[in-house]
Amino acid sequence: MKKFSRIAGVSSLALLLGGAGVHAQNMITGVDTIDDRIEDIETDVQEDLDRSNDAARFGNPEYKPGLSGSAALGYSGKTGNNESQEFTLGTRLRYASGPMVQTISMALDFTEEDNQSTQKDVFGVYDFNYYFNDRFYGFILGRVVTDGLADELTDDDIADGTGLADKVKQDAFLGVGPGWRVFNEPDMTWRVQAGVGISYLKYGDDSSDTEAGVIASSRFFKSFSDDIFVTMDTDVLNSESALRVNNDLGLNFRMAQGFATRISYLTDYNESRAIRTDNKLGVSLVYGF
């Protein structure tokens, strides 16, 4: 049997009333709507461009000593023709001391529509790195993903052996191992890491699986000029349930001042799925003038 889961207030009343009128007018005319949509697009594109950046590319990242971090919280509630609430929280805490860096990251997404929960997701990651020198380091990586709305696992799901992603209530993994920088030059870097760990899956019917797994990762960077570089990030997780491979190949270049582009090809392989391989071609472009 195969089971699988699958990261100001304003004191003047006149100003307050005037601002409310402008806001309502902008909502009706669509000004706010298009501005918000453009900002969402810019954020998505910038995130895709940022995927090519590796904080540990050239060695021990220079983080602020001691404790640092950030947090963001969002809430919205709507009543009227329909009722909905959305709550999001993201936080990152980092502690750096000499060659040791520890990071705890967490994200929460809760959504409710017409008194029915439509999303209850919690995502947490613990990342520990100890840098012995410029090339050799050790890591401990732990992560947990919880889906509060996971469907109950049935006998038909087990017999079919595919489409179990919606059935996983909790997906956790803890791994440990070494890492090595094969190349560490200004125009080319390549670091690899591998380790062993434990995978834990809990399903909607409260049944669970615990099994050993092997993880491996590769981060490759090659610069052809100041404006053109290639990156390839690969992650592999192999356990009794399935072999899972994720590969992200990206071509990044700047054609002019303020003009940045990234072309990527993302491959996601999972041998427990009916169609094992998903491929995605992406083009992201940012132009400022």
pLDDT of residue 209 exceeding 70, the answer is yes
Residue among 215, 218, 172 at smallest CA distance from 197: 215
Given a contact cutoff of 8 angstroms between Cβ atoms, the answer to whether 113 and 82 are in contact is yes
Separation in Å, CA 132 to CA 98, 100, 101, 120, 143: 10, 9, 12, 40, 24
pLDDT at 203: 81
Yes or no: say if 185 and 153 are a contact pair by the CB < 8 Å rule.
Answer: no
- What is the pLDDT confidence band of residue 208, given thresholds at 50, 70 and 90? confident
Task: For residue 274, give both structure tokens.
Answer: 């009916």
pLDDT at 17 over 60: no
Residue 7: band (very low, low, confident or very high) from pLDDT cuts 50, 70, 90: very low
* Residue from 64, 62, 84 nearest 75 by CA: 84
Q: Are 204 and 169 in contact (CB under 8 A)?
A: yes
pLDDT grade, residue 158 (50/70/90)? low
Position 29 confidence tier, pLDDT thresholds 50, 70, 90 = low
Tokens of 188: 């080319």
Domain boundaries, the chain: 13-59+186-287
Q: How confident is the model at residue 27 (pLDDT cuts 50, 70, 90)?
A: low
Per-residue pLDDT averaged across 201-230, rounded? 89
Helix (H) or strand (E) segment spanning residue 44? helix 31-50
Angle at 128 between CA 123 and CA 129, to 5 degrees: 140
pLDDT at 10 over 50: no
pTM of the model: 0.72
Query: What is the per-residue pLDDT for 274?
Result: 79
pLDDT in tens, 96-149: 999 999 999 999 999 999 889 999 999 999 999 999 998 999 999 999 999 888
pLDDT of residue 81: 84
Tokens of 217: 């990762």
